Amino acid sequence: MSTTTATTTREITFTAAAREALSEAMAADPRIFVVGEGIGARGGNFNTTTGLYELYGPMRLRDTPIVERGFVGMCTGAAMTGSRPVVDFMFVDFILDAMGELINQVAKMQYMSSGRLKMPMVLRGCIGISGASATHHSGSYYPLFVNIPGFKVVLPSNAYDAKGLLTTALKGDDPVLFLEHKLVLNNKGHVPEESYSIPFGQAAVVREGTQATVVALSSMVKKVSDACDSLAKEGISIELIDPRTVAPLDVDTVLQSVHKTGRLLIVDEAFGPCGVGAEISAQVTARGFDDLDAPIQRLNGVHTPTPYSPPLEAAVVPDVKQIVQAIRDLLAE
């Protein structure tokens, strides 16, 4: 508990919060280094490393050629030999060129070596649809990493969580995907100056409610929250859960909530088929079937490559209006 009001009421952006976590960890542990395109003197396309080059120098903030596979593979070997790499992909879409290294090497390394090698690697990148970025700069590929054993997958939705979750990622010995939605980067929130960590696999109950449970991921937490606000005016009471990490996935918290509300909707910008909503639905069905008063529903981004033109782009992302409607439909069942 902090004693200075100045500290506890400080509001900073998501990006600043995550950067603070990174800088704290780098100050404490000289084995941490960051690689990426333009993350050195430039400070990162999304300001993920602004100011750090001056503090930690070129060996620890390492600009790279455009070789996503190459630097992921390099960082794999680095992690195997005792350093702790952070890979900054800028847009997470670029991670796809490194999937072979990630799935066949990074995710399997501890297992193949029967735990004698560790794999402390943080893989971060911006996800999500916004600003007519079009289909090569709008992806949210986390379901792929949830499917594969060996990754932890973090989807912070606010500044406070960003710092705490990134701290956990940087202290651990496992590969962690830290995925930052473009639309939350500039959102400000209360962030303590002192270091703190948030454990993986513990969902946050963002708001309590009684009539239905809504699980929202990443940028959708804010949108669902807005939808809940508007429904609250009609006296509709919704419980909103932010899993914060989707691997591990805290289904227990969802089950407890559904036990109370009897209804569940999962709202996720990422694709529906074999997505996180499917997994939550399947687990809740299997384990909480008797608590369900209505079929579990999912609201996802449209299952299509992301179009460029603003009216098309808007049509593929769940918006507050659609969320409100989906909740109404769920309550009506």
Ligand X SMILES: Cc1ncc(C[n+]2csc(CCOP(=O)(O)OP(=O)(O)O)c2C)c(N)n1
Active site residues: 68, 137
Choose the binding region for another protein from 19-27, 40-48, 153-161, 292-300 (rule: CB under 8 A).
Answer: 40-48
- Residue 292 binds which of another protein, ligand X, a second copy, none (CB < 5-8 A, kind-dependent): a second copy
**Site for another protein contains 7 (CB under 8 A):** no
Using the minimum distance from each CB to a second copy, give the nearer residue, 146 or 165: 146
Q: Is the dihedral of CA 165, 266, 151, 205 positive or negative?
A: positive
Q: What distance in Å separates the CA atoms of residue 8 and residue 47, rounded to the nearest whole number?
A: 24
DSSP states of 214-233 as a string?
EEE-TTHHHHHHHHHHHHHT
156: left (phi over 0), alpha (psi -120 to 50) or beta: beta
Given a second copy, ligand X, another protein, none, residue 71, with its beta carbon under 5 to 8 Å by kind, binds another protein
| Contact mark string toward ligand X, 66..85, x via CB under 6 A | x-x-----------------
82 near another protein (CB under 8 A): yes
φ, ψ dihedrals at 299, nearest 5°: -125, 115
Per-residue DSSP letters for 71-127?
HHHHHHHHHHTT-EEEEEEEEGGGGGGGHHIIIIIITTHHHHTTTSS---EEEEEEE
Nearer to ligand X, 140 or 261 (CB): 140
Name the helix (H) or strand (E) containing 11.
Answer: strand 11-13
- The C-alpha atoms of residue 88 and residue 122 are separated, in whole angstroms, by 8
Structure tokens at 174: 């496992």
Give me the least distance between CB of 55 and another protein, in Å please.
16
| Residue 37 near ligand X by CB under 6 A | yes
Lookup result for tokens 């299509």: 304
Q: Are strands 61-63 and 32-36 parallel, antiparallel or unpaired?
A: parallel
315 binds another protein (CB under 8 A): yes
42 binds, among ligand X, a second copy, another protein, none (CB under 5 to 8 A by kind): another protein
Count of residues of this chain found to bind ligand X when the rule CB under 6 A is applied: 5
Pick the binder of another protein from 150, 209, 277, 288 (CB under 8 A). Answer: 150
Distances (CA, A) of 89 to 5, 161, 166, 235, 284: 36, 20, 15, 44, 34
Distance CA 271, CA 115 (A): 33
Q: Is the Cβ of residue 149 or residue 199 nearer to a second copy in the bound state?
A: 149
* Distance of closest approach, residue 129 Cβ to ligand X, in angstroms: 17
**Which residue's CB is nearer to a second copy, number 205 or number 292?**
292
Instruction: Supply the minimum distance, in Å, between the C-beta of residue 97 and ligand X.
Output: 6
Per CB under 8 A, the list member of 147, 186, 202, 304 interacting with another protein is: 304
Instruction: List Cα–Cα distances, 252 to 33, 57, 249, 255, 288, in angstroms.
Output: 35, 44, 9, 5, 10
Binding residues for another protein, how many (CB under 8 A)? 77
Q: Is 97 in the site for ligand X (CB under 6 A)?
A: yes
Q: Which is nearer to a second copy, 107 or 238 (CB)?
A: 107
Which of ligand X, a second copy, another protein, none has residue 63 at its interface (CB below 5 to 8 Å by kind)?
another protein
Binding site for ligand X (CB under 6 A): 37, 66, 68, 94, 97
